[in-house]
Amino acid sequence: MSRYEMGTYDVIVVGAGHAGCEAGLACARLGRRTLMLSINLEAVAMMACNPSIGGTGKGHLVREIDALGGEMGLNIDKTFIQSRMLNTAKGPAVHSLRAQADKNRYHIEMKKTLEAEPLLELKQGEVVDLLMEDSPKVCGVVLRTGSIYRAKAVILATGTFLAGKVFIGDSVYESGPNGLAPSTELAQRLREYGLPMRRFKTGTPARALAKSLDYGKMTPQDGDEQIVPFSFMNDSLEEQIEAEGGQVRCWLTYTNEKTHEVIRENFHRSALFGGQIEGVGPRYCPSIEDKVNRFADRKRHQTFIEPEGRYTDEVYIQGMSSSLPEDVQDAFYRTIDGLEHLEIVRPAYAIEYDCIDPLALKATLESRQIENLFCAGQFNGSSGYEEAAAQGLMAGINVVQKLEGLEPFILDRSEAYIGVLIDDLVTKGTNEPYRIMTSRAEYRLLLRQDNADLRLTEKSRQVGLATEERYQKMLRKKELLEKEKERLQRLMLQPEKINPVLEGCGSTPVDEPVSLIEVLRRPQVSYEATASVDPERPEMSRHEQQALAVQIRYEGYIDKQVKQVERFKRLENRRLPEDLDYLSIEGIRTEARQKLDQLRPVSVGQASRISGVSPADINVLLVHLERMRRKK
């Protein structure tokens, strides 16, 4: 096949899923001419699985992406059909926003955003090879048509397309997600380049027609009356959703013993148990046959019915992914209350794909083996749209930082869930599709949804991504919160004035004058509840009121966690020389020396989190660093 030159760019992004979109936009908005290539333009920001954004832990990622100047939060705010804040019965650290999307509109709006970006070009084309210099150093890509595009850096964001293989019972065939073509040649070439590849697996439930369901047998699940936007640039979304006809209702039903019996009788026909699937699946999102097998004592499992959009009759049967044959799917779905006459339009399937071992990546998401090759999303062994988008954004920023000879842009574990996500992947690795959870963050009281802009927007502004409008909005919020806390501290209220409010909130009355800030530290009393005794208060958005309430009520706990972070930073700020010869350091165990030499941690803190490196090894390392310092 003949090859021919088609153009030169600063950056090429391979893939236009959630990682690719954020990577491409970040590079272009930072002033770099960028080419995005997708095997099919229908795959741009495609929701191949659940039609939603956010959820526990994931909502934090979306807020952080937005605070940094990414697009996911803005796009879901444009296209959501239902919004709910999860975990509201628990503390603010784990409150997580989740929104159902009109999945086709989500794709359309993101594609329009990409097409409108001045320095970004979006093209359909399958990448089959990388262009390499001797270093080895990537310098472009080759398409199936023979087209050659050159670039200073390449970002791989291939999702589940690499050597994709779909399983429905004993039917096994090469395919990407949602019936699109897989990428087979590129997968083979990456292995030939010596990249440490592995096989992972994920799956998706069936889609059915809403008109075939009996909603009278299900429990309605409505959205929140007060809608909290994902993007800090939006103060309110109620008028928008009302103009579109209001929020769309979801529904809850359950599997039962009959469902489980049908599944158990057909275990032998599942690709999962039949040995056809080699890839490792996600622990926290198992298929229904895996649930029935692993939790044999459970009498039922939740099943959510989620509309896929306003202009389609398709619904998503959440919690019911499967690799069983279509006839078995028909049988077990129809044992569920409300689904007795279910009409499946897209069967459930499992998909297996190639991804890289993330231990082969630097904290910037650049390959350790091939210079200027950056990696993002499910290609790095993660699962989920939000995890992918976060990595895409960080890869895009770091590509530009490197091309401009600037310091890497790395968020540590005390600064962002994004920092936790990437540090977990490149330091600890993963043996299964990685999913972010609030429990993975040691400092989650500091890494709340409500303060993502206060934590991250200034950092993003420094690298040039956050717009001036976004930055000024954050500064106004910061100043407003500081002044309001000072005002509330000074505002003293007499018992006869504040006690009716306290009694109305179910809180104990006071006998002496009390500051309003002390009143607001009580868990029963909200900021809104004290409006009648505080006519001088400034006008504040819902974002700002939420952030203020948390800062006041949890001040003592927050101060304690800030001190913990200061101790963490001491190790994190102890940088390690890039050329440090770990293999020659006496006193460090052999396994630890090998791991340190392989992963080349950037700091003592990162070194301490590597599997196989003990506290004793870290102490020896610190002594060695001190000796080096004295010699210098």
Q: CA–CA separation, 457 vs 466, rounded Å?
A: 6
For the segment 146-153, the average pLDDT, to the nearest whole number, is: 98
- Convert the pLDDT of each residue in 86-111 to its tens digit: 998 898 889 999 999 999 999 999 99
Q: What CA–CA distances, in Å, run from 606 to 246, 336, 436, 581, 600?
A: 47, 48, 19, 17, 9
Determine the pLDDT at residue 111: 98
Buried b (16+ CB within 10 A) or exposed e, 327-357: ebbbbbbbbbbbbeebebeebbbbbbbbbbb
Determine the pLDDT at residue 611: 87
- Convert the pLDDT of each residue in 447-461 to its tens digit: 999 999 999 999 999
Query: Mean pLDDT score of the chain, rounded to an integer?
Result: 94
For the segment 12-29, the average pLDDT, to the nearest whole number, is: 98
Q: What CA–CA distances, in Å, run from 151 to 20, 35, 157?
A: 16, 9, 16
Extract the tokens encoding 560. 């304690």
Place of tokens 């960028």: 34
Q: Which amino acid is at 292?
A: V
Determine the pLDDT at residue 461: 98
- Cα angle 208, 434, 27 (rounded to 5 degrees) comes to 90
Q: Are 79 and 469 in contact (CB under 8 A)?
A: no
- Convert the pLDDT of each residue in 265-282 to its tens digit: 999 988 877 777 777 877
Q: How much is the pTM?
A: 0.94
User: With 80 as the cut, is the pLDDT of residue 481 above it?
Assistant: yes
For the segment 484-504, the average pLDDT, to the nearest whole number, is: 94
Extract the tokens encoding 364. 């910037």
User: With 90 as the cut, is the pLDDT of residue 134 above it?
Assistant: no
For the segment 310-338, the average pLDDT, to the nearest whole number, is: 96
The four Cα atoms 49, 190, 356, 611 give a dihedral, to 10 degrees, of 170
For the segment 377-393, the average pLDDT, to the nearest whole number, is: 97
The closest of 378, 367, 308, 321 to 17, measured between CA atoms, is: 378
For the segment 224-239, the average pLDDT, to the nearest whole number, is: 94
Place of tokens 């879901």: 76
Q: How confident is the model at residue 210 (pLDDT cuts 50, 70, 90)?
A: very high
All domains of the chain in start order, with CATH: 4-199+355-463 (3.50.50.60), 207-352 (2.40.30.260), 489-560 (1.10.10.1800), 574-631 (1.10.150.570)
Q: List all residues 6 or more positions away from 106 whose beta carbon is below 8 Å from its beta carbon.
A: 45, 47, 53, 75, 76, 79
- Convert the pLDDT of each residue in 163-204 to its tens digit: 999 999 999 999 999 999 999 999 999 999 999 999 999 999
Determine the pLDDT at residue 621: 92
The closest of 391, 379, 383, 398 to 419, measured between CA atoms, is: 391
Determine the pLDDT at residue 71: 98
Determine the pLDDT at residue 492: 95
Q: Tell me the chain's radius of gyration from C-alpha atoms.
A: 26
Determine the pLDDT at residue 452: 97
Q: Are 75 and 45 in contact (CB under 8 A)?
A: yes
- % of the chain beyond a pLDDT of 70: 100
Determine the pLDDT at residue 220: 97
- Convert the pLDDT of each residue in 510-561 to its tens digit: 999 999 999 999 989 989 899 999 999 999 887 788 899 999 999 999 999 9
Q: How confident is the model at residue 631 (pLDDT cuts 50, 70, 90)?
A: confident
Query: Which parts of 464-512 fold into alpha helices (H)?
Result: 468-490, 495-504
Determine the pLDDT at residue 571: 85
For the segment 212-234, the average pLDDT, to the nearest whole number, is: 96
